[in-house]
Structure 1
Amino acid sequence: MRILGLSAFYHDSAAALVIDGHIVAAAQEERFTRKKHDSSFPAQAIAYCLAETGIALDAVDHVVFYEKPFLKFERLLETYTAFAPRGFGSFSRAMPIWLREKLFQKDLLCRELKAIAPKSDWRDRLLFSEHHLSHAASAFYPSPFQDAVVLTMDGVGEWCTGSAAVGRGNDLSIIKEMRFPHSLGLLYSAFTYYTGFKVNSGEYKVMGLAPYGTPDYADTILDNLIDLKDDGSFRLDMSYFDYCTGLTMTNQKFADLFGQPVRDPKTDRLTPFHMNMAASIQKVAEEVMLRLTRALAREHGGGNLCLAGGVALNCVANGKVLRDGAFDNIWIQPASGDAGGALGAALVAWHQHVGGKRQVNGHDLMQGAYLGPAYAQGEIERDLAKAGARFSVASDEEMLEATAASLAAGEAVGWMQGRMEFGPRSLGARSILGDPRSPTMQKTLNLRIKYRESFRPFAPAVLREDVGEWFELDGDSPYMLLVADVRKERRRQMTNEEEARFGIEKLNAVRSDIPAVTHIDYSARIQTVHAETNPRFHALISRFKAKTGCPVLVNTSFNVRGEPIVCTPEDAFRCFMGSDIELLVVGNCLMRKTEQDPSLKLDYKSAFELD
């Protein structure tokens, strides 16, 4: 049974192919179109998924969309009715688009599918899941657990903004919901907007900025914006927000509450106020998550917890939930956002529509999230030559030795190997790597290579067998979705002068043996690297450890700010030539910047719309 799951038309369109319950392929459309958060119909992602198994779209038994457009249209109408006449302007602008495109989304999907496979009638083969059921399915069905509580939180689906579900074997049932407009994801996005970052892409910047400030406004948020109950349920005071009826997240009353206007990212610098706002909303989000998970553990037992939805990408909150210990085990879907809804929709169809059985073997079924396209060595050489690259071809041993030596010498390395990752994190298949021992590596990568804000933290990729010796975590974190502290014996004692620094100035202090991945609160967003799922990346870190004694590398996504993660060898070469990366390794091909044709150098700093 071949089932194709789709998400599209909002942000992060994607396709995922499931055959007899096995996840065969999954990819986001942005990786092919090179348009960040591309929301268009995922034609190229579909083409990739089908090519991975050599089948045509006609051979697919069901196509499943990740949400129900009619329910979303119902929410739009009821919301505008409830708030009328306020918001008529945005209503009048939105309604023609909904009537033309989204209300008749089944017709639109059938037309798009028919354009690929014109001989098939898709009306009987096209299914629709619900948004939060798709999220829940993406978390539970690939998890290593036979039984689990599943918590999903995001901005909004059709009506639902958060759900609790119980999974047992083949069964998955949502038992509780929170409904629009009361939403933790939208609350966090309101502060993303207020601090001058882009909604639906800048939330992780707020999380990264939070440790530079203090949560001075957390009580103001709890006293005015959110009525939070002991069990984690809540209601928002909508008089402070404008997302129901307007075109912005917050209004003047919100700005008056905190005493400053919305930051304009083009003209206004980040100040200690914005850092404190980030710290405050982060603390409130963590408190909501802790109350929710504690209440669910009391009600259903504290065995296994699965997480999905955009809020599950908040790795700091995830780390707090893990250390809180309400649940014994936690598993988080690596593609927790809407892209993962495509996979969840396919799994809903397999397990609930078709009745297919689960295979639970103690390991998750995501295959390390390496579900995207790979390129054979011959393809790599042909494509790089076509792009004008000057490269040498090395044996596996020579390639690992040269790459580890470059890293140990303090160089930044572009690393493209095997199948591309599914989800927003680079996990050692499409990565920029660096030496975590370097006190200047974080600033170098941010400013000279990624062209992004200097405060942004980087993640350590650490050998799974060594994680407990470097971090206060003794478990798996393969998807970079848990934060834990650097072990005390690896930390450096701060001087009085360093302790007195404020805000971004804190970056200049060396805090540990691995300063490039140690945040200012001594935390780190950890990726454990497993030989079973990524043997080549594991071998590289092992070689670096043999040279330096350090089983850790800086791992960040292979792109510049505003660009999707690279997909093809040509993408990798362009990014290499548009940044200050010194060495590029694609398969067994090695390219040094100093040996490239200088006429191919690109200006990547302004090549993409900033995220």
Structure 2
Amino acid sequence: MKILGLSAYYHDSAACLIIDGEIIAAAQEERFTRKKHDPDFPILAIRYCLQQGGVDVGEIDYVVFYDKPFLKFERLLETYLAYAPRGFKSFATSLPVWLKDKLFQKKVISDALQEHLSKAIDWQERLLFSEHHLSHAASAFFPSPFEEAAVLTMDGVGEWTTTSLAIGQGNSLQVHKEIQFPHSLGLLYSAFTYYTGFKVNSGEYKIMGLAPYGEAKYTKLIKDHLVDIKDDGSFHLNMSYFNYCTGLTMTNAKFDSLFGGPARTSEGQLTQREMDLAASIQAVTDEIVVKLARGIQKSTGQRNLCLAGGVALNCVANGKLLRENIFDKLWIQPASGDAGGAIGAALGAYHLMLNQPRIIAAPDAMKGSYLGPEYSQRDIEERLQNAGAKLTIVSDEDLINITAHALVEGKAVGWHQGRMEFGPRALGGRSIIADPRSPIVQKQLNLKVKYRESFRPFAPSVLYEDAKNWFDINTESPYMLLVADIAKEKQLPMTDEQQQLFGIDKLNVPRSTIPAVTHVDYSARIQTVHPNTNPRYYNLISKFKELTGCPVLVNTSFNVRGEPIVCTPEDAFHCLMGTDIELLAIGNCVIRKEEQDTTLIKDYRDRYDLD
């Protein structure tokens, strides 16, 4: 049984192939088109998945779309009617798009499949539609290591649902409770993303990174005026402060008045107010997530919890939830956003519609999230040479030694190995890596390699067996979705003068023996690395530990600001030539920046207002 899952037409379109219930391949369309958050029909991702699985288009039994467009249009129409005549501008703006493309999506999708894959197949007969939050729930439960679990999904909005509770048992999954639009934790967080000057649907993680620089001084104001939180975590928004139902912005003048002024303009100067707002909405989010989990455990008696939906990518809230010990075990879908809906749609059809048995895999069925393309050594060499790269071919042992010594020397290294990751995190397949012991690496990587805001934190990759010695964590975190504190013995005490610093000035104070991955609140977003899922990356960190005594590396996604994570060897080489990365390790090829043709250097700096 071969099923293709699709997510498209909103943001982060993706495709996934499952064969007899096993996830064979999954990828976001953006990685192939190089258009960040590409929402278009994921034909390139589909072709990759079929090629990876060795599947002919005629062998596809079902194509499953991750949500139901008619229900979304129903929400749009009913929302307009509920607020009319307010909201006409928003409604009129979106209606032509719906009438042209979205409302008749079954035909749009089947026409695209006919155009790009095969005209001989009646795709409408094979096309199915899942519900948005059921896709999220299926993506969380079916790949998890649990026979039975509660499943919590949280995002902006699907068709109507914004938050759902389901119970998974074996190959079954039943939704028990829902919170519906316009009451949404994801949209509440996005409102603050908008108000602090960042882009909705892509800048939310910046709020999470900014929060430790501020004080949660607006928490009471938020809870008194914007959101009513019940003991079981259910919540109700005061819509008089929001504009997303009726306008083209997230917030309105009443929201501005509550917080003392208009929203920050994009790329404008960050002030202490934005930092305090970020800290406040993060604190409210943490409270809601923890209360939801407590309510779920109390009402269901379940001992395991699975998470998905965009809010499940908030690793700070996930870390708080883990430390509360409400559930025995926690599992989070690494592609929790809309891209992961492609996996849930396919698995949901296989288990729920077709009633096929579920085989539980250890540690889970996501294969480390390494579900994207990989390249043979011969292919890598040909691609790099055609791109003009001057390279050295080395043995496995020399690759590890050369890279580890470059890291010890303080170099930023591009690491392109094995299969590309599915989801928003780089996990040692398409990563930029560096020495975490350096007090200047964070700022240098942000400004000279990533071309992004200096406050943004970097994550540590740590050998799984050493994690508890360096971080306050008692579980593995293979998908970089949990935040925990640096171990006390690794922390550096602050002087009285340093403790008086506030805002962005906190950035320059080393807080641990691995300052490049230690956030200003002594926390870190941890990835534990296991030899079973990524042996080459594990061996590299082990060699770095042998040289330095430190089993940790800085790990950030292999891209520059505004571009998707690299996919091909050519993408990686172009990134090398447009940044201050000094060494590139692709397969068994080593590319040194100083040896390259200087005419191939591309200057990204003129894109950004960064010093």
TM-score of the alignment, normalized to the shorter chain, above 0.5: yes
Instruction: Using the TM superposition, name which of 497-506 and 412-421 deviates more.
Output: 497-506
Residue identity matched to 1:137: A
Give the residue type in structure 1 aligned to 2:202. S
Partner of 1:410: 410
Change (3 A) 1:335 1:606: farther
Give per-residue Cα distances to partners, 1:8-67, cap 9 Å, x unaligned: 000000000000000000000000000000000000000000010222222100000000
1:160 paired residue number:
161
String of CA shifts for 1:341-378, please: whole Å, max 9, x gaps: 00000000110111111111442000000000000000
Tell whether the 8 Å contact from 2:17 to 2:53 is kept in structure 1 after alignment.
no
What is aligned with 1:540? 540
Alignment of 1:195-594 (within 5 A): 195-266=196-267, 268-594=268-594
Which residue is 2:40 aligned to? 40
The residue type equivalent to 2:174 in the other structure is S
Percent of pairs with identical residues: 65
Distance 2:91 2:367 in 1: 44
Cα distance in 1 for partners of 2:70, 2:607 equals: 38
Instruction: Please tell me the residue identity of whatever aligns with 1:581.
Output: I
Distance across 1 between alignment mates of 2:266 and 2:201: 16
More off after superposition, 356-365 vs 269-278: 356-365
In the alignment, what sits opposite 1:14?
Answer: 14
Equivalents in 1 of 2:475, 2:234: separation in Å?
30
Asked whether the 8 Å contact 2:149–2:302 carries over to 1, the reply is: no
Deviation at 1:571, TM superposition (A): 0.2
The alpha carbon displacement at 1:586 in A equals: 0.4
- Check the 8 A contact 1:583/1:593 in 2, yes or no: yes
The code of the aligned residue for 1:88 comes to F
CA deviation map 1:293-338 (0-9, x unaligned): 0011111125100000000000000000000011110000000000
Distance 2:53 2:284 in 1: 45
**Partners of 1:278 and 1:23 in 2: how far apart?**
37
Structure 2 unaligned spans of 5+: none
User: Counterparts of 2:28 and 2:449 in 1: how far apart (Å)?
Assistant: 24
Separation in structure 2 between the aligned mates of residue 96 and residue 242 of structure 1, nearest angstrom: 21
Preserved contact between residue 163 and residue 175 of structure 1 (Cα < 8 Å) = yes
Q: For residues 58 and 221 of structure 1, what CA distance do their matches in structure 2 show?
A: 54
Letter in 2 for 1:444: Q
- For residues 342 and 141 of structure 2, the distance between their equivalents in structure 1, rounded to whole angstroms, comes to 14
Q: Distance in 2 between matches of 1:123 and 1:504?
A: 54
| CA distance 1:558–1:587, shift in 2 (3 Å) | same
Letter in 1 for 2:417: Q
* Contact 1:302–1:328, Cα closer than 8 Å, also in 2: no
**What's the CA shift string for 1:173-196, capped at 9, x where partnerless?**
110000000000000000000000
Partner amino acid for 2:587?
G
Q: Is the 8 A contact 1:558 1:565 kept in 2?
A: yes
Letter in 2 for 1:568: T
CA distance in 2, matches of 1:215, 1:608: 30
| Preserved CA contact (<8 Å) 2:451 2:608 | no
Q: CA deviation at 1:124?
A: 1.3
Residue 125 of structure 2 aligns to a residue whose secondary structure is coil
Q: Deviations over 1:209-242 (max 9, x none)?
A: 0000000000000000001111111110101000
Give 2:209's aligned amino acid.
G
Shift of 1:568: 0.0
Please give the TM-score of this superposition, normalised by the length of structure 1: 0.99
Contact 2:447 2:453 in 1 (8 A): yes
1:24-173 equivalent positions in 2, closer than 5 A: 24-115=24-115, 116-173=117-174
AA aligned to 2:338 is: D
Q: Is the 8 A contact 1:6 1:345 kept in 2?
A: yes
One-letter amino acid of the counterpart of residue 201, structure 1: S
The answer on whether the counterparts of 1:562 and 1:608 sit within 8 Å (CA) in structure 2 is no
- 1:123 aligns to what SS in structure 2? helix
Q: 2:192 — aligned with what?
A: 191
Q: Please tell me whether the aligned partners of residues 319 and 483 of structure 2 are also in contact (alpha carbons under 8 angstroms).
A: yes
Residue identity matched to 2:570: E
Tell me if the contact between 1:463 and 1:541 (Cα under 8 Å) persists in the aligned partners: yes
Q: Is the 8 A contact 2:384 2:569 kept in 1?
A: yes
1:549-575 C-alpha deviation (Å, 9 max, x unpaired): 000000000000111000000000000
- TM-score w.r.t. length of structure 2: 0.99
Cα distance in 2 between the residues matched to 1:234 and 1:130 = 22
1:9 alignment partner, SS class: coil
Q: For 2:386 and 2:114, locate their aligned partners in 1 and report how far apart those are by CA, in whole Å.
A: 34
Deviation at 1:604, TM superposition (A): 2.1
**Do 1:302 and 1:326's aligned partners in 2 also have CA atoms closer than 8 Å?**
no
Residue 540 of structure 1 aligns to a residue in which SS? helix
Query: SS where residue 162 of structure 2 aligns?
Result: strand
Q: Which runs of 5+ in 1 are unaligned?
A: none
Amino acid at match of 1:223: D
SS at match of 1:199: coil
- Rate the CA distance shift 1:419–1:40 in 2: closer, same or farther, 3 A: same
| SS in structure 2 of the partner of residue 410 of structure 1 | coil
Task: Kindly provide the CA deviation profile for residues 66-122 of structure 1, in whole angstroms up to 9, marking residues without a partner as x.
Answer: 000000000000000000000111211211111111110000001001111110001
The separation in 1 between residues aligned to 2:476 and 2:301, in whole angstroms, is 22
2:114 partner letter: K
Poorly superposed stretches of 4+, deviation over 6 Å = none
Tell me the alpha carbon deviations over residues 232-275 of structure 1, each in whole angstroms, 9 at most, x when there is no partner.
11110101000011110000000000102110024x30000100
Q: How far did 1:606 drift?
A: 4.6
Q: By how many angstroms is 1:123 displaced?
A: 1.3
Q: Summarize deviations over 1:523-554 as a string: whole Å, max 9, x none.
A: 00000001000000000000000000000000
Q: Distance in 1 between matches of 2:609 and 2:168?
A: 41
Instruction: Output the CA distance in 2 between the equivalents of 1:137 and 1:208.
Output: 29
Which amino acid letter does the alignment assign opposite residue 243 of structure 1? Y
Distance 1:292 1:539 in 2: 40
Structure-1 residue corresponding to 2:603: 603
Q: Which amino acid aligns with 1:338?
A: D
Q: Following the alignment from structure 1 to structure 2, what is the Cα–Cα distance between the partners of residues 608 and 217?
A: 31
Counterpart-to-counterpart distance in 2, 1:465 and 1:69: 46
Q: Is the 8 A contact 1:425 1:480 kept in 2?
A: yes
Offset of residue 609 of structure 1: 12
RMSD: 1.1
1:494 alignment partner AA: M
Partners of 1:381 and 1:320 lie apart in 2 by 45
- Corresponding residue number in structure 1 for 2:23: 23
